[in-house]
């Protein structure tokens, strides 16, 4: 049996920290409101000259170093991002060039906060099909560029950052299953509805969101995908060693864990210091738990994402 296996992880957060207290002087909000409604205390903001590919570059270098691979070893680059450097070329092609990786498929995946799960599932299929041996999979976002900094209902939620993994072919265990879903009926509850036409921006180029609808939808599907993954692999909830959910809101994470009966000690949470980093949130949390030694060989790690589209999905790994 051929698997794909994560052999290195990396992350990058921009230097600038924006705290809840900083936001108090920008919009009519309070540290207390943000902390109790979302669990977020601070988030990182990219410098003006930092693009999604720059954040991705730093995270990728760290993941490649951890994996012990060089540019010549990578034969697939997939970047999940909602905030690409430019309309085209893809951020994956820009990253490929910055890393000096030559002649391999490179493309972006746009599935908003589920993007990393979509990208990892896609890379897994390439590897198990024998189409490539070593993939670089990255989630990178500069959400600060698509937020209306006068809209308190959205600007307090998000942050910038990037996480990356290197995935290689393995005959030992690795990714056990992945499940991807989407329902375009819900496309309007979370969106950046603007577009560029004839040199002008048409429609609103900032995040718009029906917070309560998103909340309920997220809790529902985040529970469903866990059961879906467990059923496919004949596992029980108690077999999950680490749950790594998309880091949108602590109340969504707490509700999901409670409904599933998973103790919070088994859930990786990084959103206090990072906010919602969309496609970067899962690889950032994964990297944190790998580097601090929480995730150990042989353990079951379940990644689950949910985001605009609406999209959702899971990747189950035996580490």
Which sequence positions are flagged as catalytic? Answer: 113, 246, 276
* Beta strands 300-307 and 311-318, pairing class: antiparallel
Based on the shown chain and the rule CB under 6 A, indicate whether residue 156 belongs to the binding site for ligand ACO: yes
Binders of ligand ACO among residues 279 to 318 (CB under 6 A) are 306-307
274 token code pair: 């990072």
Cβ atoms of residues 82 and 278 within 8 Å: yes
Pick the closer one to ligand ACO by CB: 248 or 288.
Answer: 248
Based on the shown chain and the rule CB under 6 A, indicate whether residue 170 belongs to the binding site for ligand ACO: no
- Of 300, 296, 305, the residue nearest 317 (C-alpha): 300
* Only segment of 64-72, 127-135, 148-156, 265-273 that touches ligand ACO (CB under 6 A): 148-156
Based on the shown chain and the rule CB under 6 A, indicate whether residue 10 belongs to the binding site for ligand ACO: no
CB of 215 to ligand ACO, least distance (A): 4
Residue of 17, 19, 37, 194 that binds ligand ACO (CB under 6 A): 37
* Only segment of 116-124, 149-157, 231-239, 266-274 that touches ligand ACO (CB under 6 A): 149-157
Strands (E), the chain: 3-12, 16-19, 42-45, 76-80, 106-109, 134-142, 160-170, 175-182, 190-191, 195-197, 200-202, 208-209, 242-245, 300-307, 311-318
Based on the shown chain and the rule CB under 6 A, indicate whether residue 31 belongs to the binding site for ligand ACO: no
| CA–CA dist 185, 208 (Å, integer) | 16
CB of 261 to ligand ACO, least distance (A): 22
Based on the shown chain and the rule CB under 6 A, indicate whether residue 248 belongs to the binding site for ligand ACO: yes
Q: Is the dihedral of CA 62, 67, 73, 78 positive or negative?
A: negative
Q: Which residues contact 266 (CB under 8 A, 6 or more apart)?
A: 240, 241, 242, 243
Based on the shown chain and the rule CB under 6 A, indicate whether residue 190 belongs to the binding site for ligand ACO: yes
User: Which residues make up the interface to ligand ACO (CB under 6 A)?
Assistant: 29, 33-34, 37-38, 113, 152-153, 156-157, 190, 209, 211-212, 214-215, 218, 246, 248-249, 276, 306-307
């Amino acid at each position: 049996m051929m698997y794909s296996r994560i052999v290195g992880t990396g992350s990058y957060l921009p230097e600038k920290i924006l705290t809840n207290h900083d936001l108090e002087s920008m919009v009519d909000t309070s540290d207390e409101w943000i902390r109790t409604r979302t669990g977020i205390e601070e988030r990182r903001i990219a410098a003006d000259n930092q693009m999604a590919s720059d954040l991705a570059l730093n995270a990728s270098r760290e993941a490649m170093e951890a994996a012990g691979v060089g540019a010549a070893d990578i034969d697939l680059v997939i970047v999940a991002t909602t905030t690409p450097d430019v309309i085209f070329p893809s951020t994956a092609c820009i990253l490929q060039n910055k890393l000096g990786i030559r002649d391999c498929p490179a493309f972006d995946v746009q599935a908003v906060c589920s993007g990393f799960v979509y990208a990892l599932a896609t890379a897994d299929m390439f590897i198990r099909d024998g189409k490539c041996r070593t993939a670089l999979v990255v989630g990178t976002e500069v959400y600060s560029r698509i937020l209306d900094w006068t809209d308190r209902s959205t600007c307090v939620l998000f942050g910038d950052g990037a996480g990356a993994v290197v995935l290689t072919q393995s005959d030992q265990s690795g990714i056990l299953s992945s499940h991807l879903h989407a329902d375009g009926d819900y496309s309007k509850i979370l969106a950046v509805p603007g577009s560029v036409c004839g040199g002008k921006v048409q429609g609103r180029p900032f995040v718009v969101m029906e917070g309560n609808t998103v909340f309920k939808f997220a809790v529902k599907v985040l529970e469903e995908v866990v059961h879906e993954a467990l059923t496919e692999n004949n596992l029980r909830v108690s077999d999950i060693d680490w749950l790594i959910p998309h880091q949108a809101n602590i109340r969504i994470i707490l509700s999901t864990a409670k409904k599933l009966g998973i103790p919070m000690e088994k859930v990786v949470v990084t959103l206090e210091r990072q906010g919602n980093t969309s496609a970067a949130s899962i690889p950032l949390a994964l990297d944190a738990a790998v580097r601090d030694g929480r995730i150990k060989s042989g353990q079951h790690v379940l990644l689950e994402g949910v985001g605009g589209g609406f999209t959702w999905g899971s990747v189950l790994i035996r580490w």
